[in-house]
Structure formats: structure tokens, C-alpha cells
Chains A and B, each alone.
Chain A
Amino acid sequence: MIRKTLVPAVLLLLLTSSAPAGLLDNIQKGFDMLSTSSDATQKAARSITDEEEYFLGRAVAARILETYPLLKDPKLTEYVNSIGALLALHSEKPYTYGGYHFAVLDTDEMNAFACPGGTIFITQGMLKAVTNEDELAAVLAHEIAHVNHRDGIASIKKSRWTEAVTIIGSRAAQNYGPQELSHLTGIFEGSIDDIVKTLVVKGYGKSMEYGADKTAVAYLVSAGYEPGALKDFLDRMVTRGTASEGGILKTHPGTTDRIDNLRAEIPKETVNPSLVSKRTNRFTAAGN
């Protein structure tokens, strides 16, 4: 909108110049105007950039690692990262600012966490709950969808970001005074609290979970995994009666509701069972 208004202004400045000597000055003035007004617009309202999301995500990951220790198993780490990397490349956002990274947490709690920016954790408890690579891919695809939908970022209280933009907006560069830095650090910390609380305690809203399930199916189909793998996993949770237990099921909507919402999204075609079986073998060989 601003650009639409300013481009004619720039052209007007150019065209009203009759003296060639003044022409370049006017061109300069016009582009300076564009630049200044663009900065003003950014100050008024803007969303969190991918770079800022990355710094938030790193802090969220550090906070999660306070509660759950990192499992150091190179073979399993390579395996989980291979599945995750492939799914991410099949997503609508194959690259984030800092890239996608996948890690296993050393806990029996059945859970998975998507940190903003692309770091995704899966617990050993979850690795035990899935029965094959396709189901593991389904869980990772669901978490990648949360990253791409920026569901973690959406959990930051709006008032925090509005306050942050007020501080950030007055700066031409990243040179904050001590007071501003302290204030901004407080807002950063509050934002991390909001995200961690959502990831670990409250869970995302139902619509976000259903959205992530739906998107996960699209990633699975694109990558060549069994499209019904997420539903298969959820069905088994219901059958086993674990659907109301803690971890991921505590923070997610009712499993049967998720299954109902997924049903229409799953294509009728299934993948070659021999390939699923082949992948299941390497799933077992990776230590699952």
C-alpha cells in the first residue's frame, strides 16, 4: 500500500525535474523516502521474523533440555534426523532460518515437542509407542507441521510482542541501551515461558492440532510414507487404552476426535506393503 503511494511520488519527483543536474538528487530523495516510510511501517506492526523465531526456538529447546535429558545415541540420532530431514524437504517450508534438527530425549514419557524455528524433540517413550518407521514419520510430520504453522509462536501473548515492537521499533540497529536490553530480555523470557507452557503443559488449541494432523498426512503422502500411519498410531492408542494418559496425550485433543478429523484426509491409496516392511526392518535395526 505504502509502496503504491510512494512509487508515484518518486516518479513525480523525477518527472518534475527539468534540470538534469537535479535529477539524480531527486532520484536519491525518492528512494530515501521509500526507505524511511518502509521503516516506519515495520515499526508500526510486524510479525516475528524467522531469525527471531530461531532465537526463541533455541531458548525453548534449552528449557526443554532442563527437564528431559538428551539421549546420545549416534545411530538413532542419524536415523531420526534422516526421516525428519526428508519430511521437511517435502513440506511447504523446506528451509527455516536455522534449519530443522531432530533429537531424542531420554525419558519414558510418550511425547514430542516442536520448538519454533525447527528443532524437534521426540522421546524414547514415543519411539517405543510407534511400531514402525511410517508411524515415527507420522509423529515427526505432525511436529514439522506445528513449526511451519508457527503454532508455538502463536502462543506468545500479543501484549508482549506489541511491547517488544515498541522497543525494537525505535532502533535503527541492534544497539540497545542497558535499560532497553533488560526490558527486551524480560519480554524474550516471557515469550519463552508462554511457548514452553503451551508445549509442555497446556497444549496447542484443538484447531492447531487438527491442522497439524492434516498437514502431516500431506507430508507423508509426498514423501512416500503410508498415508494412514498417523491414524494407525492413534487407533492403537485408543485400543490400548493409553489415549487418556499423560505426555502427548495429555496436551492433545481427544484421540478419537483426532481420528475422526483425520479420516477424510487420508487418501484411499496405500503404499506397497513390502516397502513398509523394509522400512520397519531398519526401524528395528536403528535400536527401536
Chain B
Amino acid sequence: MNRNRLMSASLLLLAMSAMVSAETVTVITRENTVREVCRFLAPAKAKVQFGDQLEVTAKEGDWFRVNFRNAKGCIHKNAVRETTAALTDVSGKGYSTTSDEVALAGKGFNPEVEKSYRAKHPELDYHAVESIEAYQVSDESLKAFITAGGLNQP
């Protein structure tokens, strides 16, 4: 009886240790950048998209040090949600219970609803909205702008 219990407990510990993989975070912005060092305008190491999972190796202030595919770098805490349990069972099947932001992705007011709204309102100029969204100030331009104006690096 005791032997059985001991065996069960041992197997439980083994199973639990096999289950818990590295801590991960999930990207919650449409796109973002993994940066070489933990600063906003540091050189880019990788582009990430909504839902991408990044392995966390350390926390550094408002930043996570992460691994993503072959890249190592930093991502700001505001661009990700901590995956509350990133788990893999012994058969290799993954579990990932995440925050609302990730779990609710694609639900509610989503592209399908926008499409329906746009069909109802063809007079609305979404192309103009998209041109505004497509406009990006490059990191290099912003750095130069900050320096020239005697402003503070973020």
C-alpha cells in the first residue's frame, strides 16, 4: 500500500516536472519588435505578431528577455501578456491558458463585424484610415528627432 503511494507520488512529481515548460509570454499587439537590448529604440532582432509565444529567460524592469525562434532579445511588458500556464503533457501535447486578451482574440468586434459594418456604410473611407495606420516613423528618424530637439530617449 505504502509502496503504491510512494510510486504514485514519485510519478506525480515526474509528471509535473515534465509538464511545466519554460515561462512564456504571448504577443497581444498586432505586431511588435524583439529588440537587441531592453530599450525602446534599440536595434530590432525579430518581428513578432499577435499570438506569437516567446520564451522568457529573465525579467528586466518593464521588459522581458525572450527567445523567439533563433532570436534572443527584449520585448516590453506592454506588448505581451504572461501566459499563465505554458504546459506540455508527457505526450508532448501543449496546453496554454492565457489572459483574456489572448483567449478572446478574434471574438466580439472583429474583422467579420467590421466587414459587415463597412458593407452597410460604403461611404466611409477606410482606405484613408489604412493609409494613416500604415504611416510609420522609423526608429532611426525618431532617434535623430529626439537628439536634434534635446528631448529624452524613452
**Interfacial residues, chain A to chain B (CB-CB below 8 A):** 3, 14-15, 17-20, 23-24, 27-28, 31, 34-35, 38-39, 42, 46, 48-52, 54-56, 58-59, 61-63, 65-66, 70, 77-78, 81-82, 85-86, 89-90, 93-99, 101, 103, 119, 133, 164, 168, 171, 173-174, 176, 181-182, 184-185, 188-189, 191-192, 222-225, 271-272, 275, 278-279, 282
Contact = CB atoms under 8 A, between A and B. Distances in A.
A130 B128 CA distance: 26
Contact of B149 (A17, A51, A282): A282
6 contacts: A55-B113, A65-B128, A82-B145, A173-B106, A176-B113, A224-B149
A27 B100 CA distance: 23
Interface string B128-154: 110111010100011001101111101
A7 B114 CA distance: 38
A186 B97 CA distance: 32
B145 A272 contact: no
B76 interface: yes
B25 to A, nearest CB: 13
Nearest to A222: B152
Contacts of B145: 82, 86
A185 B119 CA distance: 10
Contact of B7 (A15, A20, A99, A133): A20
Interface size class of B (residues with CB under 8 A): 35 or more
Contacts of A133: 149
B109 A188 contact: yes
B30 interface: yes
Contacts, number: 195
B97 to A, nearest CB: 6
B38 interface: no
B24 to A, nearest CB: 16
A18 B137 contact: no
Q: Say what secondary structure dominates the interface of chain A.
A: helix
Given A89-B154, A174-B106, A174-B107, A38 B97 contact: yes
Contact of B108 (A38, A49, A62, A223): A49
B28 A97 contact: yes
A27 B13 CA distance: 12
A54 B30 contact: yes
B81 to A, nearest CB: 10
Contacts of B116: 181-182, 184-185
Interface stretch (B52-60, B66-74, B87-95): B87-95
Contact of A98 (B30, B109, B111): B30
A99 B133 contact: yes
A17 B11 CA distance: 11
B128 A62 contact: yes
Contacts of A85: 137, 142
Given A24-B89, A52-B110, A189 B120 contact: yes
A42 B124 CA distance: 32
A157 B58 CA distance: 42
Given A42-B103, A176-B113, 11 more contacts: A24-B91, A31-B85, A34-B97, A51-B106, A52-B109, A55-B109, A56-B109, A66-B123, A90-B152, A192-B117, A224-B151
B12 interface: yes
B79 interface: yes
B78 A95 contact: yes
A27 B15 contact: yes
Contact of B89 (A28, A66, A98, A171): A28
Contacts of A191: 109
B113 A27 contact: no
A99 B50 CA distance: 12
Contacts of A184: 108-109, 113, 116
A77 B123 CA distance: 25
B105 interface: yes
B8 A61 contact: no
B46 to A, nearest CB: 16
B12 A66 contact: no
Contacts of B111: 55, 174
